[in-house]
Amino acid sequence: MIRAVTDREFDQVIERAGMPVLVEFWQPGCGGCRALLNEFDLLQAETNGRLLILTMNVQENFQIPAERDVSSLPALALYRNGQFDRFIGGLGKKDEILKQLAL
C-alpha cells in the first residue's frame, strides 16, 4: 500500500528511507492524480523494495509543496540519500516513470 505523508513527518521519513523516494503531490478531484496512484501500485510491485513511494495531499499540507515550488498537479519528486534530487516526467505510465528513475 502506498503511504501518505504529512508536512510534519516528511523530512524524517525521507532521511530515514535508506532508498530512493518518489513523492506524488496531489489533491482530491484531480483525475490525473488518481490515475497515477493506480500506476504506483504496479510500480511498487516491480521495484520490489528498491523504491519508497509516498503521496502528499497538497490541500492538507502546504509547507513542503511550497518549498519545492509545486505549481501543477500531479507532480512527482525524486529524493536520493535524503535530499531532493529532481522532479521527474513520465507522469502517465509505470514504464515511463521507471525510465526516469533509472533504478
d(CA 56, CA 13): 12
Cell of 49: 523494495
pLDDT attached to residue 75:
92
pLDDT attached to residue 31:
87
Burial of 88 (0-12, 13-18, 19+ CB in 10 A): middle
Amino acid identity, position 98 = L
86: β partners: 78
Cell of 34: 488518481
At CA 11, angle to CA 9 and CA 15, rounded to 5?
A: 120
pTM over 0.75: yes
Profile the chain (103 residues) by mean pLDDT over runs of 10 residues: 93 96 94 86 88 96 94 92 87 82 76
